[in-house]
C-alpha cells in the first residue's frame, strides 16, 4: 500500500476530477496541495454533476476526509459559496469532513482587484498572461513577501491591526503607482471579520493530522490543480500559474515529507489543450482542432473559456514524466479521437533548423519550435464506455501503446468517457 499524488502532465484540464474521484474511493484522505479557485474539476457521479474549484474531490464522497493544505491560497468568500452550492446538491461540508491548514494564505478583494488591473494594462500593451483575475498571483506574492493574512489570523481578529497595516502599506503604494485609489483599513477588516466565524472551525495544523494518518496506515491521495506546463518554475514561463504544480509540491504544500508520496500519477489527455495565452506547438487552427474542441467539450470548468486544441505532444509529456518522477499515467478522453482517419503525435521539435527532444525554457525559443509528427491510422469503432482492453479497437490499443513508448511511462488507467465507471484499470496506484 502506498500514498498517491495526482498531477496534470500538460497545461491542466486533463480530466483530473474524474480520476481523483475514482481513486478517492480507495483513499481515506484527499489532500489539495497548491493553487486556488482558478482551476476546477467536474465530477459526474450517478448522473449528477459536481463542479469544484477549491474543495478536494473527495469531499463529495461519504466517509472521506478532505484536506486543504498550506500550499493553497484561499478566497474565503469563494470557499463559502462553493460549500453552499454543494449543500444545495445535498452534499454537506462540515468540519467533520473538511480540514484546512491554519497556515494557508487568504485571497482578499484587493488581490482580485490588482489581478484585474494588471491584466487590463497588459491587454493594452500586448503582454497579457491570461490569468483568471481571481487574485491568485497577488496572494502568492504577499505570501512570499511575508505580509499575507492567513487562516490562523482569523482566530483573533483583535490582533489583525498591524498585519492589515503592513499589507496596505505595500498595496496602497502599488495602487498609487497604478493610478488607483487606496484601500481603507476598515474595508479589509470588515471583509475578514465577516468570514472568520465560519472559516475558523475548519482550521487546524494539517501537518499533524497527516502525520497521525500516516502512523495509522491511512491511504492519502494528494490532489494537484492545473498542470506541469503551468508550473511557475518548469512551465512555459511567464504564461504559467503562480505556484509549483509538480508532484514535489505535494509534500511542501501539505506539510509532510517527500517520502510520504509513493506513487506519482500523471493525468494525460489523449490530445493536447491549453487555456489562455502562451506557446502551444501542436495547436490546430483548422477543422480538426474544432472537432477536438466540440467532441471533447473543451470549455474551462471555472471560467467557461474555450480551450485551444491540438495533437498529442509526446515531447512535453515526456518532459513532465521526468520533472514529476511519474510512475504511470492516466490517459483520458481517448474516445474523443474516435472516427478520425489519421492521428498525429508530436515526437520532436525543429528549432532554427535543428532537431531537439525537449521544450526550451526561453520564451523566444519556445515560440519558434515546430512540431515533428508521426502519423498513425485512426479507428472507426467507438471507444466510449470501454471498460477492458478487449473492448478497444486494435488501432486504439496501438495508439495507447505508442504513447507509452514515446513518453517513457506506462498507462495505469485509461478513461473512455466522463462517467467514472468507464475506466480501464491496468495498475492500481495504491497497490504499488
Alpha carbons 318 and 100: distance in angstroms, whole number? 34
CB burial of 129-144 (b: ≥16 within 10 Å; e: otherwise) equals bbbbbbbbbbbbbbbe
User: 253 near 37, Cβ under 8 Å?
Assistant: no
User: 274 near 8, Cβ under 8 Å?
Assistant: no
Q: How far is CA 13 from CA 248, 274, 311, 363, in A?
A: 20, 8, 15, 22
Q: State yes or no: is 13 an active-site residue.
A: yes
Residue 379 half-sphere exposure toward CB, CA atoms < 13 A:
18
Phi-psi region of 63 (alpha: psi -120 to 50; beta: other; left: phi over 0): left
| Full DSSP string of 120-138 | HHHHHHT------SSSHHH
Alpha carbons 342 and 377: distance in angstroms, whole number? 5
Alpha carbons 28 and 17: distance in angstroms, whole number? 17
DSSP letter at 99 equals: E
Q: State yes or no: is 77 an active-site residue.
A: no
User: 404 near 397, Cβ under 8 Å?
Assistant: no
Residue 255 half-sphere exposure toward CB, CA atoms < 13 A:
20
Alpha carbons 352 and 350: distance in angstroms, whole number? 7
Catalytic entry in 21, 37, 41, 422: 41
* Alpha-helix residue ranges (DSSP H) falling in 145-184: 161-177
Which helix (H) or strand (E) segment holds residue 345: the answer is strand 342-351
Catalytic entry in 13, 21, 75, 153: 13
Residue 8 half-sphere exposure toward CB, CA atoms < 13 A:
30
The closest of 271, 273, 264 to 399, measured between CA atoms, is 271
User: 227 near 326, Cβ under 8 Å?
Assistant: no
Query: Mind telling me the catalytic residues?
Result: 13, 41
Amino acid at each position: 500500500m502506498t500514498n498517491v499524488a495526482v498531477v496534470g502532465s500538460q497545461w491542466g484540464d486533463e480530466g483530473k476530477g474524474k480520476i481523483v474521484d475514482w481513486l478517492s474511493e480507495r483513499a481515506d484522505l484527499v489532500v489539495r496541495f497548491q493553487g486556488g479557485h482558478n482551476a476546477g474539476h467536474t465530477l459526474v457521479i450517478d448522473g449528477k454533476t459536481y463542479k469544484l474549484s477549491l474543495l478536494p474531490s473527495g469531499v463529495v464522497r461519504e466517509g472521506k476526509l478532505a484536506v486543504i493544505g498550506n500550499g493553497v491560497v484561499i478566497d474565503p468568500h469563494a470557499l463559502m459559496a462553493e460549500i453552499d452550492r454543494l449543500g444545495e446538491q445535498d452534499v454537506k461540508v462540515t468540519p467533520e469532513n473538511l480540514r484546512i491548514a491554519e497556515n494557508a494564505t487568504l485571497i482578499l478583494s484587493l488581490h482580485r482587484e490588482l489581478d484585474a488591473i494588471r491584466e487590463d494594462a497588459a491587454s493594452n500593451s500586448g503582454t497579457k498572461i491570461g490569468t483568471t483575475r481571481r487574485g491568485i498571483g497577488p496572494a502568492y506574492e504577499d505570501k512570499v513577501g511575508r505580509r499575507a493574512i492567513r487562516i490562523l489570523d482569523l482566530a483573533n481578529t483583535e490582533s489583525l491591526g498591524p498585519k492589515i497595516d503592513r499589507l496596505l502599506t505595500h498595496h496602497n503604494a502599488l495602487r498609487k503607482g497604478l493610478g488607483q485609489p487606496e484601500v481603507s483599513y476598515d474595508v479589509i477588516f470588515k471583509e475578514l471579520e465577516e468570514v472568520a466565524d465560519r472559516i475558523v472551525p475548519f482550521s487546524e495544523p494539517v501537518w499533524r493530522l497527516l502525520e497521525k494518518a500516516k502512523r495509522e496506515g491511512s491511504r492519502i491521495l494528494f490532489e494537484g490543480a492545473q498542470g506541469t506546463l503551468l508550473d511557475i518554475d518548469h512551465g512555459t514561463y511567464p504564461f504559467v500559474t503562480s505556484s509549483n504544480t509538480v508532484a514535489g509540491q505535494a509534500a511542501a504544500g501539505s506539510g509532510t515529507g517527500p517520502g510520504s508520496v509513493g506513487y506519482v500519477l500523471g493525468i494525460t489527455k489523449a490530445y493536447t489543450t491549453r487555456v489562455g495565452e502562451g506557446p502551444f506547438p501542436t495547436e490546430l487552427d483548422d477543422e480538426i482542432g474544432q472537432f477536438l474542441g466540440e467532441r471533447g467539450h473543451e470549455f474551462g470548468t471555472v471560467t467557461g473559456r474555450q480551450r485551444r486544441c491540438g495533437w498529442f505532444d509526446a515531447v512535453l509529456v515526456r518532459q513532465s514524466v521526468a520533472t514529476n518522477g511519474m510512475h504511470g499515467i492516466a490517459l483520458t478522453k481517448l474516445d474523443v479521437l474516435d472516427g478520425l482517419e489519421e492521428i498525429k503525435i508530436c515526437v520532436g521539435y525543429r528549432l532554427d533548423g535543428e532537431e531537439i527532444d525537449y521544450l526550451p525554457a526561453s520564451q523566444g525559443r519556445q515560440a519558434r519550435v515546430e512540431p515533428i509528427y508521426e502519423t498513425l491510422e485512426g479507428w472507426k469503432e467507438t471507444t466510449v464506455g470501454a471498460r477492458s482492453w478487449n473492448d478497444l479497437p486494435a488501432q486504439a490499443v496501438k495508439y495507447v501503446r505508442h504513447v507509452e513508448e514515446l513518453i517513457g511511462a506506462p498507462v495505469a488507467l485509461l478513461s473512455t468517457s466522463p462517467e467514472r465507471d468507464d475506466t480501464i484499470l491496468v495498475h492500481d496506484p495504491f497497490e504499488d
